[in-house]
Structure 1
Amino acid sequence: MNYIHFFSVEIPEWMAQSNQVAQTVGFNTDRYWLWVTGSIAEICKKYNDNELVVKQFGLLFEWLETQAEGVKA
């Protein structure tokens, strides 16, 4: 696995897409969270569920959940 590409390209591109989707459909919407889980699953599959990839996206998902809780408050 090319870890440099994953962290320097894949993660930043996913985060940019996440921001775009959130702006388009709304951050705390079902459509956004369906996109998040679907896109994470696709990338994990692309990297054959590599443990580092799965854990990195787990951290990102947890971070997004924390942000969503802050929006609700």
Structure 2
Amino acid sequence: MDYNAFFADVTGWIQYANQQALRLGLQSADFWAWVADSTGAMCRHYQDHPLVIKQMVMLAEWLEEAYDARL
């Protein structure tokens, strides 16, 4: 696996997640659908490598914690 490419993709995903959160709102179903779809796509892109799965789960949990902190 190309770790440099993966972590560059993670950085891009985080930046886009922040944009999507602003555009769609953390509370919206569309935002969470995007999170689910995009994390799955990233995992598939890297052939479900265990590191990729763990990283994307962690990022989804990070977003959930950000959502919970706003309640």
Same fold (TM over 0.5): yes
Aligned position for 1:39: 38
In the TM superposition, structure 1's runs of 4+ consecutive aligned residues that sit over 4 Å from their partners are none
**Take 2:21 and 2:62, find their aligned partners in 1: how far apart are those partners?**
15
Q: Letter of the 1:61 partner, please give it.
A: A
SS in structure 2 opposite 1:19? helix
Give me the identity figure in percent. 35
Aligned position for 1:17: 16
**Take 2:51 and 2:36, find their aligned partners in 1: how far apart are those partners?**
17
Taking only aligned residues, the RMSD between alpha carbons, in angstroms, comes to 0.7
Q: Letter of the 2:2 partner, please give it.
A: N
Structure 2 gaps, min length 5:
none
Instruction: For residue 27 of structure 1, report the CA deviation from its aligned partner.
Output: 1.4
Structure 1 gaps, min length 5:
none
Q: Are 2:8 and 1:3 equivalent residues in the alignment?
A: no
Aligned position for 1:56: 55
Aligned residues: 71
Output one character per residue of 1:11-69: Cα deviation in whole Å (capped at 9) or x when no partner: 11001110111111111211100000000001100001000000001111111111110
**TM-score using structure 2 length:** 0.94
SS in structure 2 opposite 1:49? coil
**TM-score using structure 1 length:** 0.92
